[in-house]
Homo-oligomer: A and B are copies of this chain.
Amino acid sequence: MPSQPGKSVTIYDVARECGVSISTVSRALNSAEIVKPATRQKVLDAAARLGYVANAQARSLAGGRANVVGLLVPGLINGYIAEIARGIDEELARADYNLMVYTTRRHRSQESAYVDSIVNGFSAGLLLIVPLVPVQYLAILAEKNFPYVMIDQADNSGMSTVVDATNWQGMYDATSYLIGLGHTRIGFITGLMDIRSAVDRLDGYKTALSDHQIPLDDSLIARGDFWPEEGYKAANVLLEHPDRPTAIIASNDLMALSAMDAIREHNLTIPDDISILGFDDIPQGRIMFPRLTTVRQPLEQMGRIAVKLLLERIEAPDLPPKHITLATELIQRDSCQSPAPRR
């Protein structure tokens, strides 16, 4: 039996087992090179024999690597975040880090205390996929010079390291594609307009329209907030428009999916009666019927890169902020086609 119930094996046990001091054990385990190969091997063997596993708390208390990064998200609920999280998890595994998940729904009242406790807690760094990052969050992070990376959201201050995608270009391409298909009345469901990416996407849409000499019709723009409920409502507004659009673009897949519901409830067929196009490329979009045409954000890769950047910053907290933007890609599936000839 490697260990007794309760008590666990410490470096003291290992040290005793192979007749060296605890510092040698520590060194053999961490700063591999500084120790004589033979000694090192002896230690490693003893550790294995005893079933030693380092106590992460003690290690990080004593100033060593913390080996944990935090992930702050609004919730575990949606495919979009899960996709990013997958990339994060994989990259973290590679570096042998663990993941602490923090959700923003908690501690509504005292959010800054929450961030404070994150910073003071286990994590060596923080990844944020929070649509709306309260300024105070960033203030605390900055004040403590705590390493963090924001995913899929720009911070206007320019003080943050962020990983995002070409929101403007993606929506420009999507809109152009629909126009190429022959659509001229294209409805648009916005994201939460306090968020940079939502603004950029709307902008891409508008520019594509104007580049193709299609006059902008404000009544074709319905406000959403990236969540299904609002997407559904916005779709209804568009569908009940006296001069209904022949295509609808949603600012993300989640809203596109619920818009599809609304469309069906209006007894319209996709894509025969109306085309629908999303943004993100979450897995659900692939299993819908018809399969959703969308603008792919390389979510998993974004997660990966965010981790790399964060790890980098954990090593060197004073690195200047970086901003990495990945390319989006239009994924043509089955939810868009040329509009039916007008009656």
Contact = CB atoms under 8 A, between A and B. Distances in A.
A321 to B, nearest CB: 16
Oligomeric state, in number of copies?
Answer: 2
A93 B76 contact: no
Interface in A97-133: 98-103, 105-107, 113, 116-117, 119-122
Interface of A: 1, 3, 5-6, 8, 51, 53-58, 60-61, 68, 75-79, 82, 85-86, 89-90, 93, 98-103, 105-107, 113, 116-117, 119-122, 143-145, 228, 257-258, 260-261, 264, 283-284, 287-289
Contacts of A120: 8, 53-56
Given A93-B105, A98-B102, A5 B143 contact: yes
23 contacts: A1-B143, A3-B143, A3-B144, A8-B120, A54-B120, A56-B117, A58-B61, A61-B61, A68-B122, A75-B89, A76-B76, A76-B86, A77-B283, A89-B106, A98-B102, A99-B102, A100-B101, A100-B122, A228-B287, A258-B287, A284-B284, A288-B289, A289-B289
A113 B107 CA distance: 35
Contact of A6 (B57, B145, B261): B145
Contacts of A93: 103, 105-107
A229 to B, nearest CB: 12
Contacts of A54: 117, 120
A288 to B, nearest CB: 7
A76 B117 CA distance: 24
A6 B287 contact: no
B103 A101 contact: no
Contacts of A8: 119-120, 144
